[in-house]
Amino acid sequence: MLSRRIGGAELDVLVADITTLSVDAIVNAANTSLLGGGGVDGAIHRAAGPELLAECQMLHGCKTGDAKITKGYRLKAAHVIHTAGPVWNGGTLGEDDLLASCYRRSMELCGKHELTSVAFPAISTGIYRFPADRAAEIAVRTTIEGLAAAPSVARVVFCCFAEPSAKLHAGALARYGSPCA
């Protein structure tokens, strides 16, 4: 849908099923238990198989705004980065900072594990009700800032479930970088 080059990385926005992407890691918009749930979390757990749940049980959850990494098991992606996004409560309880932290911590894990590609869903915009336009701006800005902590990353995908979300991410991304050829 849209592609931009920022430094040495290509950033893409597309509408797709994140569980089908061939990237080093997909990011899971998880709950704090990391034991599966609805939306993208449930889809990732179903596609990865029961081994993912078994590994997640060993992680003892994840604080809101933090991220943890596991193997990808039956997914095309070698890894899953699980991040617990904030529930929207009107914007006065630090939700913006917590959402930014999800993207920042995920990029830090990409750097630590020398991953070259990562795909993000629109974290917290489903049942957690984070305003989609605000979330897209935070996602794009924080991910671009996070590239410095992950010099190995050559490709970032903002994988949206539906066209309206993709348009918001594309609009945010269009304000940064230059188009890719």
Domains of the chain: 2-179 (3.40.220.10)
| For residue 181, pLDDT beyond 60 | no
Q: What is the rounded distance in angstroms from the CA atom of residue 178 to the CA atom of residue 158?
A: 17
Dihedral sign for Cα atoms in the order 166, 124, 177, 78 = negative
Exposure of 114 by Cβ count < 10 A (0-12 exposed, 13-18 middle, 19+ buried)? exposed
Prediction pTM value? 0.96
* pLDDT of residue 179 exceeding 70: no
Query: What percent of the chain is modeled with pLDDT above 90?
Result: 92
**Distance, CA of 91 to CA of 87 (rounded, Å):** 10
- Give me the active site residues, please: 41
Burial of 96 (0-12, 13-18, 19+ CB in 10 A): middle
pLDDT digits (tens, 9 = 90+) for 34-92: 999 889 999 999 999 999 999 999 999 999 999 999 999 999 999 999 999 999 999 99
Q: pLDDT tens across 116-129, in order? A: 999 999 999 999 99
How does pLDDT run across 4-39, given as a tens digit for each residue?
A: 999 899 999 999 999 999 999 999 999 999 999 889
Alpha helices in the chain (DSSP H): 39-48, 50-57, 95-112, 132-146, 163-174
Q: What is the pLDDT of residue 180?
A: 58
